[in-house]
Each structure stands twice: as C-alpha cells, then as structure tokens.
Structure 1
C-alpha cells in the first residue's frame, strides 16, 4: 500500500466514523426549547464539534491501523475476495505476479 492509498483509506474511514458519531448525544434546538430565528427545530443546540472530532480521529486511527495491518501483512489479498474468479490463477512457481 502506497502513501496515497494509506491517506485515502484513512480519509474514508475518518468520514465514515464522523457520520456515525455526529448524531450521538445530539440535542436539537426543539428539544432544548430554544429555537434561533431562521433555523429549523432539528438544528443542533450544542454540537460539541471539537470533542467529536477528537473522538472520531482516535477511533479512525485505531480502525485504520487494523485495516492497514491486515492489508500490509498479506493476510487478505485481492485473490481472496475474487468471488467471481475473474483473476488469473497465481503462477505455478509461487512468486507473485
């Protein structure tokens, strides 16, 4: 895995975790009873973004390290997930190719 692939993998994982974490413990303006003019009742009252970004980054680093470790170790290869057998079989001499 190259550096660009690692960065893209981290970004994808980070945003996936962000979208999971954002609605956790969210209090809307409607629930708080204090709706600012021009905003919907479903807008967050106090989103706590700094705290959530720290949490997301920590979780994303842990998940990314696990996924990158599996990819770099070779425990799972592209041939392992080729369910339609569209890839050529590995060479007979045992070398990658």
Structure 2
C-alpha cells in the first residue's frame, strides 16, 4: 500500500473522523474563496457543493472490485456490486479534489460577488 493510501485509510477510519476532515477541507476552501476572491459565504458554499457533488460521481466508480466469492453473495445482490466500496475514503478524496477544482474555477471565472 502506498503512503498516500495509508494516510487516506487512517483519515477514513471512522465516520466522525471522515466528517471532520471534510469540514476542515471545506472550511479552508471557502475561507480562501471569501478572502481572496471576494465571494460571499453562501455563494462559495453553493459553488463548492455543485463541484463536490459532480466530482463524487466521477470518483465513485474508481478502484471498485466486484465480489468474487459466491459464499459472500446475498440473494438479490447485483453481481456487479462492489465488494468493498470504501465510501469514506472516496468522500475525503472527493473533498480534496473538489477544493482544488473549486479554487481553480473561481480563479478562472470572474465570480466576485457571487
């Protein structure tokens, strides 16, 4: 496992830790947007939400492996369902990537006062 993967797993060890990391990343990105790019707090939160939600659907299918053990399959389970979806790790990864895309977006487009 790579060092980044180990850090991501440690940050996603519990739901509360994951939420804490996501709030810190969100607050940092919004604070930068408000102070440097003159966005309103509401406008920054709204734009961040749109970027985050869009990137979540980009990241969700990455590195999924289907359940190959027939003993672990439950009746009615889709054969393509991931064995371990790692949603907490993907939420943190989405937050980090969304912050970068969010800051690049507000730098490229003139959104002051939004």
Provide TM-score, normalisation by structure 2. Answer: 0.55
RMSD (CA atoms): 1.9
More helix, by proportion: 2
Q: Which one has more relative contact order, counting CA pairs under 8 Å at least 6 apart?
A: 2
2:33 is equivalent to residue 33 of structure 1: no
Which residue matches 1:62? Answer: 100
List alignment gaps of at least 5 residues for structure 2.
1-38
List alignment gaps of at least 5 residues for structure 1.
75-97
Which structure has the larger Rg? 1
1:58-96 deviations in whole A, cap 9, x for unaligned?
00001101112234577xxxxxxxxxxxxxxxxxxxxxx
CA distance in 2 between partners of 1:28 and 1:73 (Å): 42
Count of aligned positions: 72
**Structure 1 stretches (4+) deviating beyond 2 angstroms?**
69-74
